[in-house]
Structure 1
Amino acid sequence: MTAHADRHAKTAVPIHPLLASRHSTRAFAPDVDLDDAQVTALFEAARWAPSAGNTQPWRFLLAKRDTGEFKRVLECLNPGNRDWASHASALLVAIRTDANARGPLSHAAYDLGQAMAHLTFQAAAEGLTVRQMGGFDAAALAAEFDLAAPLVPTTVAAIGVAGDPASLHESVAGPDRTERARTAIADLLIQP
């Protein structure tokens, strides 16, 4: 498969084009910055995601490229992620809030996932791409930014305009140069 292959999902039935065209590239245009309106739209989309009891158990730390905060987040990523994430327009730390004044929030991880999904598709509508990653040191990130319980860094997302996958070093290019695949619907369903 070539670097410029069609990344549109092959679906059993048509789904919304934003969903079908979304993919997590590691290639970012290194010279594009996010503007304030785009950032606000991303956070508005996340803000209006559903959450159990309207608790909204998510917080975000946005670090734009060429800032000290960006470098601090980048240093907490696994080395392989640092190689490509350094070209993103911003790194977003998605932070789960595991409790509030009423006690533990058992659905916090699920709710944060919904907020990130909303943010991801707003990004697609803005012409941006989002690649979320679990390859980072959560304890180092929490210490770096003084995040104490109940705040838990849960994922880091690279955000920006998709770049040319051909520009990626071979060591990180695999997913961008292979055909997209997903588990079949029949294999996802548990039959009663």
Structure 2
Amino acid sequence: MSKIPETSAPLTPLLASRWSPRSYDKSYEISDQEVLAILEAGRWAPSSNNGQPWRFSVAKRGTELHEKVVAGLTGFNQSWAPDAAALIVISIKRSDAGESSKGNFYDTGLAVAQMSIQAQALDLYTHQMGGILHAELHKSLALPADLEVAVVISVGKKDVPEKFEGEALAREIAPRTRLDLSEIVLHGKP
């Protein structure tokens, strides 16, 4: 099944082939070297004043930490995410005043993007999940008070979409879509 989108200009193959499946091969075991490469990609993301506000909690399938992270997922995420080879909780440093920081979220988004592309280079797929219990994950991971949980990323080898039925299957096999450039480019035309 190809999920390569139609674009107005050619994309690098890593970006063109990146998408967020929910069907993971539960027999695949991610190696320490693959995890390390993904984490290094996040570590080397650009950040304001080189602040590096991101923190990563890696939970490989089959570990107690993985079970804690799965317990912190909501809804449909709890049915498919446990099959991923690893779940990475992304936490973000709060401002010096202890508040959520838009700049830190932006910088951490860059780190997550780089991690997703690095995973794709390793022929692994990622899926970012916002359907999580932020406070529960913070507590179960015993994170410091100056961090806030932002997102959980699943990582693994994709499996056949036919593992699912109904709406879940339809979502898995649907073509990738995005708004047209005319809808998001406000000023200046290529």
Calculate the TM-score normalised by the size of structure 2: 0.93
Which residue identity is paired with 2:23? A
Aligned match of 1:170? 166
1:111 corresponds, among 107, 112, 117, to 107
**C-alpha RMSD over aligned residues:** 1.7
Aligned match of 2:92? 96
Aligned match of 2:64? 68
CA shift for structure 1 position 173: 2.7
Which residue identity is paired with 1:163? D
Calculate the TM-score normalised by the size of structure 1: 0.92
Partner deviation per Cα, 1:69-117 (whole Å, 9 max, x = no partner): 101100110131010101000111011112359x985410000000000
Q: How many residues are treated as equivalent by the alignment?
A: 187
Identity of aligned residues (%): 34
Following TM superposition, where does structure 1 have runs of at least 4 consecutive aligned residues deviating by more than 4 angstroms? 103-106
The answer on 1:30 being equivalent to 2:26 is yes
Q: Any stretches of 5+ residues in structure 1 without a counterpart?
A: none
Which residue identity is paired with 2:122? E
CA shift for structure 1 position 165: 0.8
Aligned match of 1:12? 8
Checking the alignment, whether the CA contact within 8 Å between 1:63 and 1:92 is kept in structure 2 is yes
Classify 1:100/1:33 alpha carbon distance in 2 versus 1 (closer, same or farther; 3 Å).
Answer: farther
Partners of 2:167 and 2:8 in 1: CA distance: 32
Aligned match of 2:146? 150
Which residue identity is paired with 2:156? G
Q: Any stretches of 5+ residues in structure 2 without a counterpart?
A: none
Partners of 2:163 and 2:100 in 1: CA distance: 45
Partner deviation per Cα, 1:32-70 (whole Å, 9 max, x = no partner): 011011111111111110000000000000000011110
Which residue identity is paired with 1:109? F
Partners of 1:171 and 1:140 in 2: CA distance: 28
Aligned match of 2:83? 87
Checking the alignment, whether the CA contact within 8 Å between 1:49 and 1:118 is kept in structure 2 is yes
CA shift for structure 1 position 168: 2.1
